[in-house]
Amino acid sequence: MNPEPFFQLDRVIHEKGRLAIMSMLAASPELSFTELRDALTMTDGNLTTHIRALQQEGYVAVAKSYQNNRPLTTCSLTPTGRKAFAEYINLLEQIIRQTRLK
């Protein structure tokens, strides 16, 4: 099997927690920190760490605002993040095709 596509997989997205965050954000225009935390059953600290890592790569944008006088943190995918996620999916599909041909 040609391992090339596997080596091209984005290591930042490939981590389980971050992949889950990217997948959730890819399907919604934006999600609040609480929605993400509840859906993925992550701790606040864990989620913050992953989001920070994604933010540093420029994949996720974080916006802070207020709703009903309460702070609201929302996350969304940046165009770069969307592109990286699409490439990641393409590579996975490529791996599947290769293993089927084997």
Partner 1 sequence: MYLGGGMKLENFQPNALGKQGGKILRLPTLALWCKVNGMESNWAAEHLQTIRTLMERSAVYRRALAPIMFFVGSIGVLAAVAGLVFRLDSPRAFGGLWLGAALAAVAGAFLIARRQAFKDREPFWSPPTRRVTQALLPPLTAGMFLGVVFVLVGLGNEFALAFIWLLFYGCALHAAGFFVPRGVKLFGWVYIALAGGCLLFLVIFHPDVEWRAHWLMGFFFGVLHLVYGAYLYLTEKGKNAA
Smallest gap from Cβ 61 to partner 1, in A, equals: 16
Number of Cβ atoms within 10 Å of the Cβ of 64? 9
- Alpha-carbon distance 15 to 49, whole Å? 12
Residue that is written with structure tokens 């389980």 in the block: 16
Query: By C-beta, is 24 or 62 nearer to partner 1?
Result: 24
Smallest gap from Cβ 16 to partner 1, in A, equals: 9
Pairing of strands 60-67, 31-32: unpaired
The site for partner 1 (CB under 8 A) is made up of: 1-4, 6-8, 10-11, 19-20, 23-29, 31, 35, 38-39, 67-68, 89, 92-93, 95-96, 99-100, 102
Contact yes or no for 66/89 (Cβ under 8 A): no
Smallest gap from Cβ 43 to partner 1, in A, equals: 18
